């Protein structure tokens, strides 16, 4: 389809393609629902993998879709709201994102939301404000044809039961809003109690709404960090990552294949990817595995390519 025609189609059709309420990923879920589909998984790219380039302005947010396709051969992308923070309600900017993705043949899968408040805050007023802060991102996700927004079940307390109740309330309120426009609300293990697989699974079970699920991340299972006295923090209490992913997979609507570094054989040095992929397969999940490279030794491009090469070797 010529570029101009495609841009017109995307602009005029963006609202129609998201009417498949509560299905995680439009074209992605065609693969998930079709028993004749050969591949159980597709590979997507999380924008955070390129956070250094985006932060130092050597890459523009609007080039993400094109770069994913041209540099990595990846045709599903996962945004981070940090990189277009003031554009959630900018219809022209979102239309340009649609056009860029359409021109590249790339599917926009989800938006990871940070900085809008914790959905498990114990104070009712603060928690409700956080829920409301997410509404604009639900609408943005709808405009972009995404299936989900990723949120944080965060709150400040040592009381597990109180945080559980607050998370159920906050997620329930937000999901009630999001379900009306066909967008899922998915929670990532992302620090604090959300990195406790059993706790988060219990929250999702109690919310008990089809549009509320999880985004298991292979790497984010630190429950508590401490300062090492030299200005750096390190994890001092970590949940078993394999147990955590297994506990969260029954509710998964997306998966983050977090990576840090690789050995000479191309294997990830911190995470047993073969074991993780086996857990994901065993759960029955079919859909996208999102590359989220977070290492420092390799460049962003090298790290993404190394992660993709490893996943290509492990998945059908």
DSSP H helix total and E strand total for the chain: 11, 10
Q: What are phi and psi of 50, to 5 degrees?
A: -115, 25
Q: Give, for 177, the enclosing helix (H) or strand (E).
A: helix 160-179
Quickly count: other Cβ atoms within 10 Å of residue 71's Cβ.
13
Task: Give the tokens for residue 145.
Answer: 């044809």
Beta bridge partners of 188: 215
Global pTM exceeds 0.75 = yes
Q: How is residue 139 written in tokens?
A: 């609408």
pLDDT tens for the 316 residues of the chain, in order: 444 344 443 344 443 333 333 444 434 434 343 433 347 899 999 999 999 999 999 999 999 999 999 999 999 999 999 999 999 999 999 999 999 999 999 999 999 999 999 999 999 999 999 999 999 999 999 999 999 999 999 999 999 999 999 999 999 999 999 999 999 999 999 999 999 999 999 999 999 999 999 999 999 999 998 987 777 888 999 999 999 999 999 999 999 999 999 999 999 999 999 999 999 999 999 999 999 999 999 999 999 999 999 999 999 7
- Cα–Cα distance, 9 to 13 (Å, whole number): 6
Domains of the chain: 3-11+36-314 (3.20.20.150)
């Amino acid at each position: 389809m010529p570029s101009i025609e495609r841009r017109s189609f995307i602009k005029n059709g963006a609202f129609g393609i998201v009417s498949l309420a509560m299905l995680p990923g439009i074209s992605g879920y065609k693969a998930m629902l079709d028993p004749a589909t050969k591949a159980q998984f597709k590979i997507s790219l999380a924008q955070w993998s390129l956070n250094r380039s985006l932060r130092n302005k050597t890459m523009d947010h609007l080039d993400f879709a094109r770069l994913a396709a041209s540099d990595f051969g990846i045709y599903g992308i996962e945004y981070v709201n940090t990189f277009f923070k003031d554009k959630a309600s900018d219809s022209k900017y979102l239309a340009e994102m649609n056009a860029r993705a359409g021109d590249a043949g790339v599917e926009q899968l989800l938006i990871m939301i940070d900085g809008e408040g914790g959905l498990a805050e114990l104070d009712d007023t603060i928690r409700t404000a956080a829920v409301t802060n997410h509404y604009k991102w639900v609408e943005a996700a709808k405009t972009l044809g995404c299936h989900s927004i990723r949120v944080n079940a965060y709150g400040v307390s040592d009381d597990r039961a109180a945080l559980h109740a607050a998370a159920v309330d906050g997620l329930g309120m937000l999901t009630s809003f999001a379900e009306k426009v066909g967008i899922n609300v998915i929670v990532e293990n992302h620090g604090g109690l959300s990195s406790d697989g059993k706790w988060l699974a219990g929250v999702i079970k109690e919310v008990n709404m089809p549009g509320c699920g999880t985004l298991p991340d292979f790497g984010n299972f630190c429950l508590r960090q401490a300062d090492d006295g030299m200005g750096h923090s390190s994890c001092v209490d970590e949940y078993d990552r394999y147990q955590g992913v297994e506990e969260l997979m029954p509710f998964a609507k997306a998966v983050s294949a977090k990576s840090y570094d690789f050995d000479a054989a191309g294997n990830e040095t911190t995470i047993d990817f073969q074991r993780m992929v086996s857990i994901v397969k065993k759960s029955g999940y079919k859909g996208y595995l999102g590359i989220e490279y977070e290492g420092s030794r390799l460049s962003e491009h090298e790290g993404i390519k190394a992660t993709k090469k490893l996943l290509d070797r492990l998945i059908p």
